[in-house]
């Protein structure tokens, strides 16, 4: 596959899906596709397999920086999260840390002219919020403030069968996800079905909220071809560039007609 078009600014691609959907494995495979974009993975420094001390130190630095740069925005989000019905104040604080650290990484990525791939991104943070609380107030606040928070340019949703996701979670040697700690298989299946419905709702909200040129691609099935995914990313970025070029040309034409 030939390399994609030049990237004039930081472009953010987010993979999202249920725990066990294959986000991390696919991100690793896509990053190794020859002839595609060289991909950066900014969230690796706060991934679950990083030692706890290093991960927490990195997150604290990101959160402090983000709260300092956008204090009003982050205070509003933190307030909505605190009122979202999380099981306790610790869970609400954890959700805000996840949100703020992700925002900091995405904002930093935006300033670097490269394609940045997140397998734990903004929508995944909102999904975690939805799983154990009511996201309505948070989503409403974000809908009213589009443009003041950093969002991905391309969203790729992984949709393997729920039964396969359950088997993958059972086979994992580590237990990073709360769902892995559910002992009863029927309870796990029910939670995965509920989680899929929550994800579908978030994607519907996303389509209605973000600019039209930010595409959402869904990949169904048990296996994901990294080369095909890279091809889709390249096509999506070409479409985004074409859309922005068309918008800029339209604005220039209107300004020319209006005259000095």
DSSP assignment letter at 48: T
**Residue 13 pLDDT more than 60?**
yes
**What pLDDT sits at residue 236?**
80
Could you tell me how far CA 203 lies from the centroid of its own chain?
11
**What pLDDT sits at residue 244?**
52
Q: Where are the beta strands (DSSP E) in the chain?
A: 11-16, 39-40, 115-118, 154-159, 216-220
**Residue 159 pLDDT more than 50?**
yes
**What pLDDT sits at residue 175?**
61
Q: Can you read off the two tokens belonging to residue 60?
A: 């604290």
**What pLDDT sits at residue 10?**
86
**Residue 199 pLDDT more than 90?**
yes
From residue 147, give the alpha-carbon distance in Å to each of 19, 107, 195.
29, 12, 28
Average model confidence (pLDDT) across the chain: 83
Q: Which residue has the higher pLDDT, 166 or 259?
A: 166
Give the CA dihedral 61, 64, 68, 72, nearest 10 degrees.
140
Largest CA distance in the chain: 71
Q: Which residue has the higher pLDDT, 7 or 30?
A: 30
How many helices, marked H, and strands, marked E, lie in the chain? 9, 5
**Residue 214 pLDDT more than 70?**
yes
Q: Is the dihedral of CA 225, 230, 231, 237 positive or negative?
A: positive
Q: Give the global pTM.
A: 0.84
Return all residues near 116 (Cβ < 8 A) that are at least 6 apart.
Answer: 10, 11, 12, 13, 39, 40, 41, 42, 106, 109
* Low-confidence winner among 19-23, 129-133, 236-240 (lowest mean pLDDT): 236-240
**Residue 8 pLDDT more than 80?**
no
**Residue 245 pLDDT more than 50?**
no
| 46-99 pLDDT per residue, tens | 888 888 899 999 999 999 999 999 999 999 999 999 999 998 889 899 999 999
pLDDT, mean of residues 129-154: 91
Q: How far apart are the C-alpha atoms of 184 and 173, rounded to whole Å? A: 18
Superfamily of domain 11-258, CATH level 4: P-loop containing nucleotide triphosphate hydrolases (3.40.50.300)
pLDDT, mean of residues 245-250: 38
- The label of the residue with tokens 């989503």 reads 139
- What order do you get walking across the sheet with 115-118 strand by strand? 39-40, 115-118, 11-16, 154-159, 216-220
User: pLDDT band at 255, cuts 50/70/90?
Assistant: very low
- The label of the residue with tokens 């928070």 reads 149
Name the residue ranges covered by the structural domains of the chain: 11-258
């Amino acid at each position: 596959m030939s390399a994609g078009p030049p990237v004039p600014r930081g472009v953010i691609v987010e993979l999202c899906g249920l725990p066990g959907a294959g986000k991390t494995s696919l991100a690793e495979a896509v990053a190794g596709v020859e002839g595609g974009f060289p991909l950066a993975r900014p969230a690796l420094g706060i991934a679950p397999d990083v030692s706890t001390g290093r991960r927490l130190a990195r997150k604290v630095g990101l959160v402090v920086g983000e709260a300092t740069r956008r204090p009003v925005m982050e205070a509003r989000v933190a307030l909505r999260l605190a009122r979202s019905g999380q099981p306790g104040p610790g869970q609400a604080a954890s959700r805000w840390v996840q949100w703020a650290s992700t925002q900091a990484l995405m904002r930093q990525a935006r300033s670097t002219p490269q394609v940045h791939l997140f397998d734990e991104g903004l929508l995944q943070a909102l999904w975690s919020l939805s799983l154990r609380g009511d996201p309505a107030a948070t989503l409403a606040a974000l809908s009213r403030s589009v443009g003041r928070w950093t969002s991905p340019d391309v969203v790729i949703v992984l949709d393997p069968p729920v039964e396969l996701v359950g088997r993958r979670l059972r086979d994992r040697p580590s237990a990073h996800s709360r769902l892995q700690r559910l002992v009863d298989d029927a309870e796990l299946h029910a939670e995965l079905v509920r989680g899929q419905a929550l994800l579908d709702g978030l994607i519907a909200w996303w389509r209605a909220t973000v600019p039209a040129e930010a595409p959402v691609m869904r990949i169904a099935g048990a296996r994901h071809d990294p080369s095909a995914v890279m091809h889709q990313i390249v096509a999506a970025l070409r479409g985004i560039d074409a859309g922005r070029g068309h918008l800029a040309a339209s604005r220039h034409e209107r300004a020319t007609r209006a005259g000095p």
